Amino acid sequence: MDITRLLFFIIFVWQKYESLANTVENPVQECFGFCDQILDPNSTYEQKWNETETRIKTLQDKIIQIENELAKPKPKIDGFIQIGSRYFHIEVDFRVTWYKAIQLCLDKGGQLAVIQNEEELNAISAKLDEGSSYWLDINDLAYEGQFESWASGKKTPYLKWYHGEPNNVNDDEDCVFLKNREMSDIHCYSSLYYICQSDIVDW
Ligand SMILES: [Ca+2]
Ligand SMILES: [Ca+2]
């Protein structure tokens, strides 16, 4: 190697060394501005994350507020009594078909009752005459064996069947009544008492 080539080689190596050194000393600059968002603890990513957390917290507070509002008993309607956290009207003066019971509850400003759970079943049943039958908003008119609320069109949240029920006798029992704390299906044109609830719930 002659002296000229040797000098070029030394200069080339020196420049490469400086370039590498700068890379180590200025990592942010070498990342074309992206690295600072990762390396800087006060980066925009962290700010955005904090903003997102704040928004999520605000939404959670709103959801809790809405849930609390929904959980409140609806205003009392004349002729309705409070049972548990809700208001009900228990009709014991005359018996009607299931269809008529639907209409009469709507006329009162409520709807035919949908029992939410066992606790509510027991609370309501304690107010009923033993041996009497009361219509509920439960039917399988649309699809046999699929019991749903007429008011909401959704699956009924709670069922407690009497032994052997539902049995859909003569393939013609599509409406449900409550008797002695248990439920049975029966022909919808049977005449029974009925229970309305004051609130319209979208189950
Ligand atoms: Ca049926
Ligand atoms: Ca039956």
pLDDT digits (tens, 9 = 90+) for 95-123: 999 999 999 999 999 999 999 999 999 99
Q: Total domain count for the chain?
A: 2
Which ligand is closest to the CA of 172, given by its number?
A: 1
- The vertex-172 CA angle with 166 and 174, nearest 5°, equals 55
DSSP annotation of 73: P
Q: How far apart are the CA of 185 and the centre of ligand 1, in A?
A: 7
Same structural domain, 181 and 127: yes
Q: How far apart are the CA of 111 and the centre of ligand 2, in A?
A: 23
- The answer as to whether 40 is a domain residue is yes
DSSP lists the bridge partners of residue 83 as 86
| Boundary (domain end) residue, out of 26, 46, 71 | 71
- The answer as to whether 76 is a domain residue is no
pLDDT digits (tens, 9 = 90+) for 59-77: 888 888 777 766 665 556 7
Which ligand is closest to the CA of 140, given by its number?
A: 1
Q: How far apart are the CA of 164 and the centre of ligand 2, in A?
A: 8
Same structural domain, 137 and 176: yes
Same structural domain, 40 and 122: no
| Structural domain boundaries enclosing 93 | 81-197
User: How does residue 152 score in pLDDT terms, banded at 50, 70 and 90?
Assistant: very high
CA–CA separation, 138 and 135 (whole Å): 8
Residue 97 phi, psi (nearest 5): -70, 165
DSSP lists the bridge partners of residue 186 as 175
Tell me the pTM.
0.65
Predicted pLDDT at 44: 78
Encode burial over 76-101: b for 16+ CB neighbours within 10 A, e otherwise: ebeebeebeebbbbbbeeebbbbebb
Predicted pLDDT at 134: 98
Which ligand is closest to the CA of 169, given by its number?
A: 2
